[in-house]
Amino acid sequence: MSENTNAVSRRSLLKGAAVGGLGLVAGSTIATSSADAATRLKGSTVRWTTRGGGATGDKIAKAVNDAFAKKTGAKVVAQQVNSDDFQNNFAQIMQGSPDDAFGWMAGYRSNHFGEMGLLADLTREIYRLKGTLPTSAIKGATSPVSKKPYILPTTYYPWALHYRKSMVKEIGMNPEKIDTWDDFIKLMTLTQKKGLVGYSLGAKGGWEAMGTFDILNARINGYKYHIDLLNGRAKWTDAKTKETFKYFAQLIPFMNENVLDISWDGMRDLLLQKKTGAMMMGSWFANDFKAKSQADYDDLWVVPFPEINPKWGIDSIDAPLDGISVAANGKNVAGGKALAQFWASPEGITEAIKAGDTNIYVSKSFDTSSYDSFNKQKLAVLGSAKNIMFFLDRDARGDFAGPVVGPAIQSFIKKPSDINKILESVQAQWDALPKN
Amino acid sequence: MKTATTSKKTRSRRSLSKTDRFTLSAFVGIPTLLQILLLWVPAVVTIVLSFTYWNGIRLTDIRWAGIQNYKTIFLNEPLFYEALKNNGVWLAFFVLVATPLGILLAYQVDRGIKGHAFYESIFYLPVVLSLAVIGIIWNFMLQPGGFVQGLMGLDIGNAISIWGNPDINTWVILGVASWRHIGYIMLLYLSGLKSVDPALKEAAAIDGATEWQIFRKIILPTMKPVNIIIVVITLIESLRAFDLVYIIYGSPTIFPLLNLLVFQNFAGQGLSMKGAAYAVILLVLCIVPIITYLRIVFKEDLK
Whether residue B241 sits in one domain with residue B192: yes
Whether residue B173 sits in one domain with residue B52: no
Whether residue A141 sits in one domain with residue A12: yes
Single out the residue of B191, B205, B228, B24 nearest to residue B109, CA to CA.
B191
Whether residue A219 sits in one domain with residue A96: no
At B177 the pLDDT is 94
**CA gap B183, A42 in Å, rounded:** 60
Chain A segment 237-276 residues within 8 A of B by beta carbon are: 256-263, 266, 269-270, 273, 275-276
Q: Determine the residue type at A352.
A: A
Whether residue B237 sits in one domain with residue B112: yes
**CA gap A60, A80 in Å, rounded:** 11
- Bridge partner residues of A160 (DSSP): A281
For A72-93, how does the pLDDT look when each residue is reduced to its tens digit (9 = 90+)? Answer: 999 999 999 988 788 878 888 9
Q: Identify the residue among B63, B155, B249, B254 best suited for mutation to test binding to A, counting A beta carbons within 10 A and taking the highest.
A: B254
Whether residue B83 sits in one domain with residue B60: no
Number of domains in chain A: 2
Mean pLDDT of all residues in A380-396: 91
Whether residue A110 sits in one domain with residue A7: yes
* Pairing mode of beta strands A152-156, A75-81: unpaired
Chain A segment 195-224 residues within 8 A of B by beta carbon are: 196-197, 200, 203-206
- Bridge partner residues of A303 (DSSP): A161
**CA gap A403, B251 in Å, rounded:** 9
Contact of A340 with chain B, judged by CB distance below 8 Å, is answered with: no
For the beta carbon of residue A237, count every other beta carbon within 10 angstroms: 14
Whether residue A334 sits in one domain with residue A289: no
**CA gap A198, A279 in Å, rounded:** 9
Whether residue A85 sits in one domain with residue A23: yes
Residue A48 phi/psi, 5° resolution? -130, 135
Contact of A89 with chain B, judged by CB distance below 8 Å, is answered with: yes
- Taking a C-beta distance cutoff of 8 angstroms, is the pair B226, B192 a contact? yes
Whether residue A219 sits in one domain with residue A136: no
Whether residue B188 sits in one domain with residue B82: yes
* Pairing mode of beta strands A316-318, A45-51: unpaired
The stretches in chain B having pLDDT less than 70 are: 1-14, 268-271, 303
pLDDT at A232 over 90: yes
Which pLDDT band holds residue A227 (cuts at 50, 70, 90)? very high
Query: Where in the sequence is the domain holding B264, given as residue range(s)?
Result: 69-302
For A167-201, how does the pLDDT look when each residue is reduced to its tens digit (9 = 90+)? Answer: 999 999 999 889 999 999 999 999 999 999 999 99
**CA gap A381, B40 in Å, rounded:** 56
Q: In what order do the strands lie in the sheet with A75-81?
A: A75-81, A45-51, A101-105, A321-326, A152-156, A360-361
At A357 the pLDDT is 81
Yes or no, beta carbons of A262 and B144 under 8 Å apart: yes
Whether residue A241 sits in one domain with residue A164: yes
Whether residue B196 sits in one domain with residue B48: no
Q: What is the CA A326 to chain-centroid distance, rounded?
A: 17
Contact of B271 with chain A, judged by CB distance below 8 Å, is answered with: yes
In a domain, B2, yes or no: no
At A23 the pLDDT is 36
At B3 the pLDDT is 46
Whether residue A420 sits in one domain with residue A340: no
At B2 the pLDDT is 46
Residue B62 phi/psi, 5° resolution? -60, 130
pLDDT at A32 over 90: no
**ipTM of this predicted complex?**
0.82
pLDDT at A2 over 80: no
**CA gap A97, B284 in Å, rounded:** 35
For A399-429, how does the pLDDT look when each residue is reduced to its tens digit (9 = 90+)? Answer: 899 889 999 999 999 999 999 999 999 999 9
Residue A239 phi/psi, 5° resolution? -60, -30
Enumerate the residues of chain B whose CB falls inside 8 A of the CB of residue A402: 251, 264, 269-270
In a domain, B29, yes or no: yes
**CA gap B83, B86 in Å, rounded:** 5
Whether residue A121 sits in one domain with residue A58: yes
Whether residue A273 sits in one domain with residue A125: no
Contact of B265 with chain A, judged by CB distance below 8 Å, is answered with: yes
- Bridge partner residues of A180 (DSSP): A307
Closest-CA residue of chain B to A432 = B72
At A380 the pLDDT is 92
In a domain, B9, yes or no: no
At A12 the pLDDT is 41
Query: Where in the sequence is the domain holding A415, given as residue range(s)?
Result: 159-318+377-431
At A4 the pLDDT is 38
For A356-373, how does the pLDDT look when each residue is reduced to its tens digit (9 = 90+)? Answer: 787 889 988 877 787 889
- Taking a C-beta distance cutoff of 8 angstroms, is the pair B54, B61 a contact? yes
Of A365, A388, A423, the position where a domain reaches its end is A365
For the beta carbon of residue A82, count every other beta carbon within 10 angstroms: 11
Which pLDDT band holds residue A46 (cuts at 50, 70, 90)? very high
**CA gap B225, B241 in Å, rounded:** 24
In a domain, A30, yes or no: yes
Chain B segment 204-263 residues within 8 A of A by beta carbon are: 249-251, 253-254, 256
Yes or no, beta carbons of A117 and B57 under 8 Å apart: yes
Of B31, B47, B64, the position where a domain reaches its end is B64
Whether residue B141 sits in one domain with residue B24: no
Distances, alpha carbon A13 to alpha carbons A44, A55, A290, B107, in Å: 17, 39, 48, 74
Whether residue A119 sits in one domain with residue A98: yes
Chain B segment 60-89 residues within 8 A of A by beta carbon are: 61, 63, 65, 68, 71-72, 75-79
In a domain, B122, yes or no: yes
Q: Which helix (H) or strand (E) holds B231?
A: helix B224-239
At A18 the pLDDT is 38
At A193 the pLDDT is 95
Number of domains in chain B: 2
In a domain, B188, yes or no: yes
In a domain, A372, yes or no: no
Whether residue B44 sits in one domain with residue B124: no
In a domain, A371, yes or no: no
For A121-158, how does the pLDDT look when each residue is reduced to its tens digit (9 = 90+)? Answer: 999 999 999 889 988 889 989 999 999 999 999 999 99
For A252-303, how does the pLDDT look when each residue is reduced to its tens digit (9 = 90+)? Answer: 999 999 999 999 989 999 999 999 999 999 998 888 898 888 999 999 999 9
Which pLDDT band holds residue A436 (cuts at 50, 70, 90)? low
Full DSSP string of A288-303: HHHHH-HHHHHHEEEE
At A40 the pLDDT is 75
Q: What is the CA A54 to chain-centroid distance, rounded?
A: 18
Q: Determine the residue type at A320.
A: P
In a domain, B11, yes or no: no
Q: Which helix (H) or strand (E) holds A260?
A: none
In a domain, B4, yes or no: no
In a domain, B3, yes or no: no
The CATH number of whichever domain residue A209 belongs to comes to: 3.40.190.10
At B117 the pLDDT is 84
* Average pLDDT of chain A to the nearest whole number: 88
The CATH number of whichever domain residue B272 belongs to comes to: 1.10.3720.10
Whether residue B265 sits in one domain with residue B130: yes
Exposure on the CB side of residue A34, measured as CA atoms within 13 A: 16
In a domain, A370, yes or no: no
**CA gap A46, A8 in Å, rounded:** 13
Whether residue B24 sits in one domain with residue B151: no
Whether residue A174 sits in one domain with residue A137: no
